[in-house]
Structure 1
């Protein structure tokens, strides 16, 4: 088995989501809401954070071609007038 179980991007998204969930759960429990509510808040925050970090972390290019950055002159209206 030469390939990794998860891609680097997926691992990063799950790591950031678990850290966000742990922080939210710990802060909720520390605020006096109790351990069960802290655990529920942490799980909810981790679920939302997965979607957030999935959109935040750049996706890997599919076709292997480099993507042009915004404002590099290769768009409609660039140099036309």
Structure 2
């Protein structure tokens, strides 16, 4: 349950970053890259903050 919460929250943050980037730059490739980066960075950060 803990891992699912962290992964879903990380994906949500990545989607949010991607959408905001797309609205800002209107560039799909940049938005996808920003979303993937946001997801990749937020998952270990959330894991460290929330812990077990």
Instruction: Please tell me the TM-score bracket, short chain as reference.
Output: over 0.9
Tell me the distance in 2 between the aligned counterparts of 1:32 and 1:46: 19
The C-alpha deviation readout for 1:43-71, integer Å capped at 9, x for no partner, is: 00100000111011130xxxxxxxxxxxx
Equivalent position of 2:24 in the other structure: 31
Q: Which runs of 4+ in 1 moved over 6 A?
A: none
- Is the CA contact (8 Å cut-off) linking 1:29 and 1:37 kept in structure 2? yes
Equivalent position of 1:46 in the other structure: 39
Q: Taking CA–CA contacts closer than 8 Å with sequence separation of 6 or more, which of the two structures ends up with the larger relative contact order?
A: 2
Where do 5+ consecutive residues of structure 2 fail to align? none
Aligned length: 52
The TM-score with structure 2 as length reference comes to: 0.93
| Greater per-residue helix proportion | 2
The TM-score with structure 1 as length reference comes to: 0.61
